[in-house]
A and B are shown apart, each in its own frame.
Chain A
């Protein structure tokens, strides 16, 4: 546990000196800021004309995860591939830490970075809460944020896992982005194209189905939690195995 934390801390601190991380944080926060302003002004106008519907945080959180699909590959691409390229992986693999501790530490560091950006967006929830009477739907908000955290954790685990396979971070970026594109966009399309149990399989693999249509609508179901936890386990397992294979080569 201690080793995981040491690696995670190093990884987390590294993001704050990395230009890519700042670009990612800027893209997410800037886009969210614009979207938030739009939502507030939209609901204000509705209210002026007698609209009774209250805004909630789910569109903002949906956008957050949507942007993560594009930005997580940039966050995780150098995670292990850069260590392999610069030779520092040799340092970590000959230090008294287990391979899985290294991978979990890398993932945790990335997750903490994304959670830091997410924490900034809490300000939107707070503002929204003060504008709406009697406040925004708390249960929906908890479910929505749980969904964001799980989706972020799953995307990052897959990204770190893929980064462990490559020595070239550009290759890691495109492989990760390709996978996310398939999981987020293509699975839904495939699901509509085929019939029967095939459609169910595609629908089950679709990240959007477990987030946008489930946790982000206020429904916390075990199957969705299991889905995200499985993706996390798959990503971390891939990463650990990739490091082990690297040793044997």
Chain B
């Protein structure tokens, strides 16, 4: 459905995306994961016909993004990062306007159907200016869905939503993604893991790695980090912990807690617990810390990173 080949975009002297190549099949939800400024938005803007690439080609739904831009735009639904809404319109007016731009025959009926899909039917005649952040996001999604596109491109669809709204949004996206191609960007690892069939990790305009969330997870859990906290004085704790087999990178924190890592397949936690209790400490907390996105990048771009794809 989406085929990207050597896509490059320069903003003046700065290269925003560098020779990107990837594809997305029909019915697949592909996640674009990367920090801010990695080139996610630029890639999406090129694929939706907003801006041309500096080099490279891409086809969406079988049409070339440069040669047949209008055909591409007819088949793509796009939710930009800054949700583009007209505050002076009601939800219904806005969707009717979008439906008219897309030459949908019965605009009112389609607008109502779409509002129902994003749970905003009861606010059909409210002005968009009165909407909460979550409702605005859903309104933006409705706009992207109004013409029932084959391909949906969503730029940070859950950003700025409260936890309940995030869950709701993810549910809606998964539902939509059953029979459509969805390309979504996020900088939240767990989000990509929950929604996507496949994840592309992008950094500084290049694809660092590409895999299913499960594979990515197992590759990344090469090292696990744990925080340990005891009651009272923690003097000598790090020395005790570092003697346990498999433990490495022990670090005493200023707040008295101790952080350590252990390698894959050698869970050192039971032995650590046993050791410190025997040493007379009162164990309060032992908690695994997820790797942050930055750490994952470091992990993935390190030469001997576990499971790194050679390219």
Option from B70, B84, B98, B103 in Cβ contact (under 8 Å) with A90: B84
B31 is an interface residue with CB less than 8 A from chain A: no
Stretch in B47-55, B168-176, B260-268 touching the partner: B47-55
A97 to B101, CA, bound (A): 8
Interface residues in A61-95 by Cβ distance below 8 A to B read 86-95
- Closest chain-B Cβ to A80's Cβ sits at a distance in Å of 14
Q: Are B70 and A88 in contact (CB under 8 A)?
A: no
A249 to B70, CA, bound (A): 20
> Given A90-B50, A247-B50, A248-B52, are A95 and B84 also a contact pair (CB < 8 Å)?
no
Q: Are B78 and A6 in contact (CB under 8 A)?
A: no
B80 is an interface residue with CB less than 8 A from chain A: yes
> Given A10-B97, A247-B50, are A17 and B88 also a contact pair (CB < 8 Å)?
yes
A14 to B86, CA, bound (A): 10
Q: Are A6 and B100 in contact (CB under 8 A)?
A: yes
A134 is an interface residue with CB less than 8 A from chain B: no
Contact flags A1-13 to B (C-beta < 8 A → 1, else 0): 0110011001000
Chain A CB within 10 A, most for which of B11, B48, B50, B103: B50
B82 is an interface residue with CB less than 8 A from chain A: yes
Option from A2, A88, A94, A96 in Cβ contact (under 8 Å) with B50: A94
B110 is an interface residue with CB less than 8 A from chain A: no
By secondary structure, the A interface counts as helix
> Given A17-B88, A88-B85, are A247 and B51 also a contact pair (CB < 8 Å)?
yes
Option from A17, A88, A247 in Cβ contact (under 8 Å) with B84: A88
Q: How large is the interface on B (under 10, 10 to 19, 20 to 34, 35 or more residues)?
A: 20 to 34
Chain B residues near A91: list those with CB within 8 A: 80, 84, 98, 143
A221 is an interface residue with CB less than 8 A from chain B: no
A68 to B230, CA, bound (A): 77
Q: How large is the interface on A (under 10, 10 to 19, 20 to 34, 35 or more residues)?
A: 20 to 34
A97 to B69, CA, bound (A): 10
Chain B residues near A92: list those with CB within 8 A: 101
Q: Are B50 and A86 in contact (CB under 8 A)?
A: no
Closest to B79 in A: A91
Interface residues in A90-114 by Cβ distance below 8 A to B read 90-98
- Closest chain-A Cβ to B58's Cβ sits at a distance in Å of 14
Q: Are B101 and A96 in contact (CB under 8 A)?
A: yes
B76 is an interface residue with CB less than 8 A from chain A: yes
Chain B residues near A90: list those with CB within 8 A: 45, 50, 80, 82, 84
B74 is an interface residue with CB less than 8 A from chain A: yes
> Given A6-B101, A247-B50, A247-B52, are A94 and B82 also a contact pair (CB < 8 Å)?
no
Q: Are A88 and B86 in contact (CB under 8 A)?
A: yes
Q: Are A96 and B74 in contact (CB under 8 A)?
A: yes
Closest to B88 in A: A17
A88 to B80, CA, bound (A): 9
Q: Are B70 and A96 in contact (CB under 8 A)?
A: yes
Chain A residues near B78: list those with CB within 8 A: 94
- Closest chain-A Cβ to B88's Cβ sits at a distance in Å of 5
Chain B residues near A95: list those with CB within 8 A: 73, 98, 101-102
- Closest chain-A Cβ to B204's Cβ sits at a distance in Å of 21
Chain B residues near A88: list those with CB within 8 A: 84-86
Closest 6 CB pairs of A and B: A91-B84, A87-B82, A88-B84, A96-B73, A94-B48, A96-B74
Name B's A-contacting residues (CB within 8 A): 11, 45, 48-52, 70-71, 73-74, 76, 78, 80, 82-86, 88, 97-98, 100-103, 143
Name A's B-contacting residues (CB within 8 A): 2-3, 6-7, 10, 14, 17, 86-98, 247-249
Q: What are 15 A-B contacts with C-beta separation under 8 Å?
A: A2-B103, A86-B84, A87-B84, A89-B84, A90-B80, A90-B84, A91-B98, A91-B143, A93-B50, A94-B50, A95-B98, A95-B101, A96-B101, A247-B50, A249-B11
Taking A2-B103, A91-B80 as given, write out 8 further A-B residue pairs in contact, using a Cβ cutoff of 8 Å, ordered by the A residue number: A6-B101, A10-B97, A88-B85, A88-B86, A94-B78, A95-B73, A96-B74, A249-B51
